[in-house]
Each structure stands twice: as C-alpha cells, then as structure tokens.
Amino acid sequence: MSRLIKKILADKLSPEELNEVISGFDIIGDIAVLKIPDRLLSKKYLIAKTLLDNVKSIRCVFRQVSPVSGEYRLMELEHLAGEDRTFTEYRESGCRFYVDIAKVYFSPRLSGERLRIANLVKDNEVIVNMFAGVGTFSIVIAKKRKTTRHYAIDLNPDAYQLILKNAYLNKVEDRVTAFLGDAGRIIEYYLSGCADRVLMPYPERALEYFPFALKALKEDGGTVHVYLHVKSKPIEEVIEEVLPKLDFGKKFVVEDVSGRVVREVGPRIDQVVLDIRLERLES
C-alpha cells in the first residue's frame, strides 16, 4: 500500500513530505487515518481528497489530531474527506471485526504480532487477555486454535460490546467470554488460577498489572506476554532492565524469557514484547 500512496501523492508532495505522511498512515477497514505534521496541515484536505479519489477501498479519511491517551487509549480525530463515520469492518487473518476508531483503541499494525501469538498457542489452552480492546487477539487465536478457551477483559464499555459482537460475528462466542471492568479485579474475583497464557497488550500499564497476570496463571505456571514501550536498544538489554522490575512472588520462577521488537512507535522508541515462561517454584 505504501508504494501506491507514494505514486498517488508523488506530484503533490516532496519525497521528504511523502515519507512523513506514509509513516503515519493506517487503513482500518474502509477508513484511512493519517498523521499529518504541522508543516503539512495546509495540504491536509488535498492529501485526503487525493487518497479518496484514487484508492477504491477507502471511503472515509480522518486525521489523527492527538496521541492515543486516557484510560481507554483513545485519539482525537478530524474528518477530512469522504463519509463522516468512524465505524467500520476490518478483516485480519480470516476474521472480521467491527471497530469504531473514535470509541475504542485499535491498531492494524499489530496484525503480525497477533498471528505470531496464535502460532505459539497449543490446543486446549486457556488464555486471559487483560486488555482486550475489540477482542482481536482472542478471536484470531480462537479461530486458529479451535480447542482454546478465552477470557477477554476491557474497561471500556464500547470495547466490551464490540468483543461480544465480534465473537458472534466470527462464530467463536462459545469459547470467547467477555468481561467489562478492571483487569486486576476481574482476575481476582473470577479468573484466578485459570490460565495457561496471559496477554498484556497495554504497554503503559503492563508493569503495574503484572502481579495480576501471575494470579491468573494455573498452579503449574504458564506464559505471560508483556508489551512495553522502551527506548530503542538491543532486546537483550531490554530483558536485563525489565526482569528485575517484575515481582514473581514466592509461587513462580522464570523458566525461559525471550523478546522481540514489535514495531517502532516514535523516534527511537519501540514497542517490544517479552515472552516470559514461568514454572512453579518447588518448596
């Protein structure tokens, strides 16, 4: 898609301006979301109209006005061209998802990571997603691994409703259970000791909520996938810095840990994931 965008906008922007626009360009369903630097704001409608006229799959174009922020991880949007709506249907890994980009957090840039996790999961696993959004991780895995059981938690009522709709849409509602509320409290009251695997795809809160991930694991242990935002550096250094910050309590010991860079999220800032395998600490 980036090559197509470059071709479409080649006579409208300089090569440097093109690179800036493309790096902040996402398509979610039939909605295009652009990050446009301040120095190009005078061209925002020209850019949006050009995309709308030349990319048939795009029906709406929005500008991301603010960074993702707040408890629900939402962003402020400005409508630039096409239909003025924020609800769409997005497809990934053979699944369909209803998404409202103004009401829930969603990133198509995690599609490869979602598929990677799905390929790690074994049959009959129970998986807790502590920050589920619209249920994408849980549903992609459930669709691929048909004997798995999923608990998808989110604090955002709109995300919770979309988990329910998306599970039904993909015919996995019998294996994906949605919970509305704080992930820590939900685990303490309902999901303690149930999980083979825990997902923590909320970098800003992952360290804070790590003790609850441990509470969700079965007695014999399991795997926790911790997502973080860190300064760009070798993943080995990230692991050395992060592990001492995690309290594994008196129940588990680290059996294995690996990590990878998921994506770049800012100048020299990466989103990384640590895959931490824990086993029961013998008394």
The model's confidence at residue 1, banded by pLDDT at 50, 70 and 90, is low
pLDDT value of residue 16: 78
- Same domain? For 123 and 158 the reply is yes
- Is a pLDDT exceeding 90 seen at residue 279? yes
* Total number of domains constituting the chain: 2
161 falls within a domain: yes
- Same domain? For 123 and 72 the reply is no
pLDDT value of residue 283: 61
Phi, psi (rounded to 5 degrees) for 98: -85, 130
Instruction: Look up residue 11 and give its two tokens.
Output: 């006579």
- Same domain? For 275 and 165 the reply is yes
90 falls within a domain: no
CATH number at residue 23: 3.30.300.110
CA max distance for the chain: 69
- What pLDDT digit, counting tens, does each position of 169-215 carry? 999 999 999 999 999 999 999 999 999 999 999 999 999 999 999 99
- Is a pLDDT exceeding 80 seen at residue 272? yes
22 falls within a domain: yes
Q: State the amino acid at position 45 in one-letter form.
A: Y
The residue with greater pLDDT, 19 or 152, is 152
The model's confidence at residue 21, banded by pLDDT at 50, 70 and 90, is confident
pLDDT value of residue 44: 92
- Same domain? For 79 and 114 the reply is no
The model's confidence at residue 25, banded by pLDDT at 50, 70 and 90, is confident
pLDDT value of residue 5: 74
pLDDT value of residue 281: 85
- Is a pLDDT exceeding 90 seen at residue 218? yes
Secondary structure (DSSP) of the chain? -HHHHHHHHTTTS-HHHHHHHHHTEEEETTEEEE---GGGGGGHHHHHHHHHHH-TT--EEEEE-S-SBTTTTB--EEEEEE----EEEEEETTEEEEEETTTS---GGGHHHHHHHHHHPPTT-EEEESS-TTTHHHHHHHHHSTT-EEEEEES-HHHHHHHHHHHHHTT-TTTEEEEES-HHHHIIIIITT-BSEEEE--TTTHHHHHHHHHHHBBTTEEEEEEEEEEES--HHHHHHHHGGG---TTTEEEEEEEEEEEEEEETTEEEEEEEEEEEEPP-
Of 123, 183, 133, 130, residue with least CA distance to 159: 133
- Same domain? For 10 and 108 the reply is no
- Is a pLDDT exceeding 80 seen at residue 19? no
Residue 247 burial (C-beta neighbours within 10 Å; 0-12, 13-18, 19+): exposed
CB 241 within 8 A of CB 231: no
CB 35 within 8 A of CB 73: no
pLDDT value of residue 108: 95
Instruction: Look up residue 280 and give its two tokens.
Output: 């029961």
Domain boundary pick from 55, 85, 115:
85
Instruction: Look up residue 216 and give its two tokens.
Output: 């969700």
99 falls within a domain: no
- Same domain? For 185 and 110 the reply is yes
- Same domain? For 171 and 233 the reply is yes
- What pLDDT digit, counting tens, does each position of 113-167 carry? 999 999 999 999 999 999 999 999 999 999 999 999 999 999 999 999 999 999 9
| Average per-residue pLDDT for the chain | 94
Of 181, 188, 176, 170, residue with least CA distance to 152: 176
- What pLDDT digit, counting tens, does each position of 56-98 carry? 999 999 999 999 999 999 999 999 999 999 999 999 999 999 9
d(CA 155, CA 70): 12
d(CA 281, CA 264): 36
User: Which domain covers residue 56, as residue numbers?
Assistant: 2-85
63 falls within a domain: yes
- Same domain? For 51 and 113 the reply is no
